[in-house]
Structure 1
Amino acid sequence: MSASIVVEASHSTHTEPRQRFVQCASPAGLHRVAYTEWGDPANPRVLLCVHGLTRSGRDFDEVARAFAGDYRVVCPDVVGRGLSDWLADARYYGVAQYVSDMVTLIARLNVETVDWFGTSMGGLIGMALGGLPNTPIRKMLLNDVGPHIEPVALERIRSYLGKPARFASLEEGVRHAAALAASFGPLTDDEWTRINTPLLHERDGAWTFRYDPDIAAPFSASTDEDHAAGEAFLWHSLASIETPVLVVRGESSDLLSRETVRQMVEKGQAVTSAEVPNAGHAPAFLAADQIAIARAFFLENNGSRA
């Protein structure tokens, strides 16, 4: 009986999140990156889940619970977001810095390889890291993102990114965040509350988003030439990835077109695809059928075309 109690207590501990921090560096100094960890901390099999532009690692709570029995699941708040520090110099908000931070995080985890679940910006970071020689990424799921981002989506992002927003209550902030992310899919009020509450905090008598408004600075300053160079780099990175990649597209995504997915499958070495109905940019992966797509890819096979 006592052995049973120990096992149950251990299992309970592994299905609850643990908050951790790792110190990283930019050319402007040091900063801390927060991450939430699930599962057995001694498990050498790691699933690294990286969120979108203004989101947080807590977007992956349901994914983490679903995988915690098989993986040590690690969900960072990318620098400038969530519980992570803000950079001293906003010029360094970009994929190069984020890749550097993820390499430092993987070193902290003390594992040789990771599987990667990247939503939107998290997928861009994954493509950049996955295309490097000796990459630690073993398998990668790209959630509604590719090397080419549709211009209409860039304009939509520009319309809200970094704009001041203050709310009289947490509930008002949650509703506003839900409106911005409406294309995630038909989520319930409880689901919106669970994934949006970590995005907000109370400061000076009002509720505001946790992300640094200055993450918009490099985005706003980028030129057409910058976008073209970045896209060319990502196509090259994707083509260099030898390990399995699954591209998941929301059926009505304004950011990732079916044509881009087709080209990713054609140009990649081991790229397959799936499409999620009743979702745009980006599928929330809260529903069981969406999580099943990820489980089939990471745990059952090398990914199969849907």
Structure 2
Amino acid sequence: MTTGQDTESAGGPGAQPGGVSRWTDLGGPVHYLDFGGPANGPVIVCVHGLGGSAVNWIAVAPLLTGTCRVLAPDLAGHGLTQSAGRGTDVVANRVLLHQFIESVPTGPVILMGNSMGGMISLLEADAAAGTVAGLILIDPALPFVPARPDPSVAMMFALSLIPGLGRAMLARRRRASPEQFVASILRLCCVDPSRITADVIARHIEVANQRVTFTGVDKDFSAAIRSVISTVGYPGGRAYRRLTRSVRCPVLLVHGTGDRLVPIAAARAAARANLAWSLAEFPGVGHVPQLEVPAQTAQVIAEWLNSAGRGAAQAAAGGPPGERGRRSLQGPRARAGRCGERPGSVGITPVPQAPPHTASCQ
């Protein structure tokens, strides 16, 4: 594994509401935002989704830094982290995430992943359980459930699998201005994009403007989206379903009922298959609750950290690297591994017993 020296562009100690832009070398430059937080608090590493970036977390992260240290890397081929010869599929980015955890926070963390980032977080929890004290999965990419998909979303994923049509779709994306591109993504991912504040939208447009000059963007995106589809569908669907049932750390599953990309049916099915998971449903919210309803998202996370996720919070508590390493082998980490608490704290929706009949598409 290649690790590197962290370099800071701005900022200081304590909470940083907009995030301090930093770089580290992990087989090439990796950009991340450091939102600060208490040095001895639980460390949360935020993992964005397909086509996203670290700025996907700027609305919710400041609401968590009163008790947690929050970091958000840009995965390879996303945000400001160019691929630079590195893979951009979910397996390659899982390895990059692992390197980031070992290089920057250097101890057990709570992974908070959205969409593809939730999938990558699950893969990391399975491959390197010692680095993951707990999982917060926000509308994660989950195994298919038998239901009718959203037509426009199904078409988008189908086109991505056909080389010629996939290239045409990506070329159309390139012709859009950064403002148009961000607006189209928010329309797809949100039930009500007007909930997102102007400053948060401006940060996303800023990143989109910077990415206009990057090379290999289409190739990077194609590799990522195909790997997501192959993991949840063919040929990896069965293995991924087994993996989601084998995770032993505490898990909070947060999902918007209006998600068009990963419908609530998939989240409810995952929660029924994993009775120790806590499920929080947000009515009338889409694929990115951390952007659409950040205060509600932060409240549910805080409640979980004080209840079913308490062991994870203790295991992910910060401090000197040596101290954090010892904690990973002691009581809190072991308690987190049992993952035996049932959902039901305030704000957590009990898992329905009857399977719903709604769309499923990833």
TM-score by structure 2 length? 0.68
Structure 2 unpaired stretches of 5+: 1-10, 161-165, 310-342, 350-362
CA distance in 2, matches of 1:254, 1:45: 32
CA distance in 2, matches of 1:221, 1:110: 27
- Displacement of 1:37 in angstroms is 0.6
Equivalent in 217, 236, 257 of residue 212 of structure 1 = 217
On the 8 A contact 2:14/2:38 being kept in 1, the answer is no
Equivalent in 89, 100, 103 of residue 105 of structure 1 = 100
- Displacement of 1:210 in angstroms is 9.1
Which piece of structure 1 moves more, 162-171 or 273-282?
Answer: 162-171
Counting aligned pairs with the same residue, the percent is 22
Greater relative CO, 1 or 2 (CA 8 Å, sep 6+)? 2
CA distance in 1, matches of 2:232, 2:300: 34
**Correspondence for 2:189:** 181
- Displacement of 1:39 in angstroms is 1.4
CA distance in 1, matches of 2:232, 2:197: 39
**Correspondence for 1:20:** 22
On the 8 A contact 2:14/2:36 being kept in 1, the answer is no
Letter aligned with residue 219 of structure 2 = D
**Correspondence for 2:237:** 231
Equivalent in 204, 208, 214 of residue 200 of structure 1 = 208
Task: Indicate the RMSD between aligned Cα atoms, in angstroms.
Answer: 3.4
Which piece of structure 1 moves more, 190-199 or 165-174?
Answer: 165-174
Letter aligned with residue 22 of structure 2 = R
On the 8 A contact 1:149/1:255 being kept in 2, the answer is no
- Displacement of 1:166 in angstroms is 4.3
Cα 1:278–1:209 change in 2 (3 A) is farther
CA distance in 2, matches of 1:186, 1:200: 19
**Correspondence for 2:143:** 148
On the 8 A contact 1:34/1:84 being kept in 2, the answer is yes
- Displacement of 1:112 in angstroms is 2.1
CA distance in 2, matches of 1:19, 1:225: 31
**Superposed CA offset, 1:219-242 (max 9, x none):** 458987983332222222221211
Which piece of structure 1 moves more, 106-115 or 163-172?
Answer: 163-172
**Superposed CA offset, 1:93-128 (max 9, x none):** 211111110111011124321111110010000111
Structure 1 unpaired stretches of 5+: 1-8, 25-29
CA distance in 2, matches of 1:226, 1:166: 27
Cα 1:202–1:232 change in 2 (3 A) is same
On the 8 A contact 1:83/1:210 being kept in 2, the answer is no
**Correspondence for 2:113:** 118
